[in-house]
A and B are shown apart, each in its own frame.
Chain A
Amino acid sequence: MLRAYLQYWRINFLTLLEYRANFVMWFVFSIAYHGVALGALYVTMRQFPSMNGWNFREVFFLYALWMNGHELHNTVFFTVVSVPDYVREGRFDRFLVRPLDTLFQVLTVPQQIVPDSLVLAIATLAVATAAERVRIDWVFVVFVPLVVVGGALIDLGISLAIATVSFWFVRVDTLRWAVMSLEQDFTRYPISIYTRGVRIVLTFVFPFAFMNYFPATYFLQKNDTGLHFNPAIGLLTPAIGFAWVAAAYAFWLVGLRHYQGTGS
């Protein structure tokens, strides 16, 4: 199965090389998108230089860290996000009659991958790291990629859960959109600006704070003024990611047993 998966990515990569013009177009597109978000943040923080003790460059690093996990998810696991569409169009039933794991089949739906956002995310993180002069030691080198993978897994858990909800409620477009945009809004600022209840939810219920807040607190050598944890908790992100995906996968399996199809 792993061999098949690697082969799938080799084909994706070769297709990508065929369509270089597309890549450039989507790249401009991604720059505009994140440029607007960061531009608003920059203009705001020119007027208000401190956000609960975080300056613009630190908030920029926070954003870049989130961006990497999120875009890694969007590049590698995007087909999971499309499951509600497959369900609605009746294409999902096809996966159920084949003798292979359903999730594996979802992960290997042929598609055109454009990793523009991921490339931009890596570049943004490099700029943010240099701008803030983050100390680069072996912990940074080893854990930043792991934190990014963990962040992508936290996102995957959310996508899987929404996909599973679509087995019961067919139209989940608005829910999917709302969750994604709220995730982005909530992770844009240090969680210490929120009330205590929300900080706890962002840590223990929907662990978005592990995508960027806790790891950034650690790498930037700041204190966690949100929940007063030891900042090293940020290094747990990969473990949290795996646990979160495992929980979402269990929910997915329950959903599959209940799956009835739309009849379309």
Chain B
Amino acid sequence: MRLEPYLEFAKKAFAREATYRMEVLTEIGALVLRVYILRSLWTALYAQNAAPINLPLHGMITYATVAMLMSLVLEVDGTRLIREKIREGTIATDLMKPISLPLYFFSDGIGQTLLHALLVVPSLFCALALVHIDVPPPPTIVAFAVSFAVGYGVNFFVNFLMNSIAFWTLETFAAQLIVRWASDLLSGQIIPLTLFPGIVGRIVFGLPFAAIYSTPLLIYVGVIPSSQWAAAIALQVGWLAVFALIASAVWRAASNRIVIQGG
């Protein structure tokens, strides 16, 4: 299989996103304000209550800030194209092209992601003016990067599946947003999953959403010690494999369906 076309798709997506410079600035501004809100919130909460044992204030602020920066990358959804293409009917001609469509969506997403990853750099500097974030030793950074990459994959397949529902019904918007919001809470993006009590806590850690934000972040702030890195990342890879399998099965079923409808 040749990879050049997919590189080209990624470059196209990058250039397309880069044209909206005003939007980019607004996004950074909003992010900085949100970091400020989170700093104020956690500072106030830690000032008046007993701190959780494994997460002191600076760890919590680091968690919240890094989660925010990760969301710049993870909230990009390249597979949204699936729904648009189905609605407009262009998916039929796309399926005839000699390319792998899922891979096309992936490269489009990567292109957008790269632009947003570049956004992370200026945002990081602005955020650092407001908050001090912990920088862990290099091995932890590497483990975080690996875990983040696997989480990115899980996130891609979850989005892919949600958008593929459009092959069966176009009324996917509400369902998709509900999953997105539930995932914001259950993935550990808004608050660390360690705050969930008892049995609820064990359930949220057992859900696949935890593989997206929670695992990389808990590695970063040191709640997951180096002795458990392998197990934590292995669980993420497990979820990645499960979702990849479901996604490919759904894609096959969906492509057949298009062919039948096109008759």
Contacts and interface: CB of A to CB of B under 8 A. Distances in A.
Interface of A: 25-26, 28-29, 32-33, 36, 39-40, 43-44, 46-53, 169, 171, 173-175, 178, 181-182, 185-186, 189, 192-195, 198
B44 A44 contact: no
B49 A169 contact: no
B196 to A, nearest CB: 6
Nearest to A26: B174
B190 A181 contact: no
Contacts of A169: 22
B95 interface: no
Of the four ranges (under 10, 10 to 19, 20 to 34, 35 or more), the interface on chain B belongs to 20 to 34
B136 interface: no
Contact of B26 (A25, A29, A49, A175): A175
Given A174-B26, A175-B26, A195 B49 contact: no
B258 to A, nearest CB: 27
A192 to B, nearest CB: 8
B231 interface: no
Nearest to B184: A36
B23 A171 contact: yes
Interface of B: 20, 22-23, 26-27, 29-30, 33-34, 36-37, 40-41, 43-46, 48-49, 52, 174, 177-178, 181-182, 184-185, 190-191, 195-197
A60 to B, nearest CB: 16
A48 B30 CA distance: 26
Contact of B196 (A26, A43, A193): A43
B49 A174 contact: no
Contacts of A49: 49
B49 A47 contact: yes
A25 B174 contact: yes
29 contacts: A29-B174, A32-B178, A33-B177, A36-B184, A40-B185, A40-B190, A43-B191, A43-B195, A44-B195, A46-B195, A48-B49, A50-B48, A51-B44, A52-B48, A53-B48, A169-B22, A173-B23, A174-B26, A174-B27, A178-B30, A182-B33, A185-B33, A189-B40, A189-B41, A189-B44, A192-B44, A193-B44, A195-B40, A198-B36
A73 B99 CA distance: 47
A36 B181 contact: yes
Contacts of B178: 28-29, 32
A40 B41 CA distance: 13
Nearest to A193: B44
Contacts of B29: 178
B49 A193 contact: no
Contacts of B197: 43, 46
Contacts of B48: 48, 50-53
Given A25-B174, A43-B196, A182-B30, A193 B185 contact: no
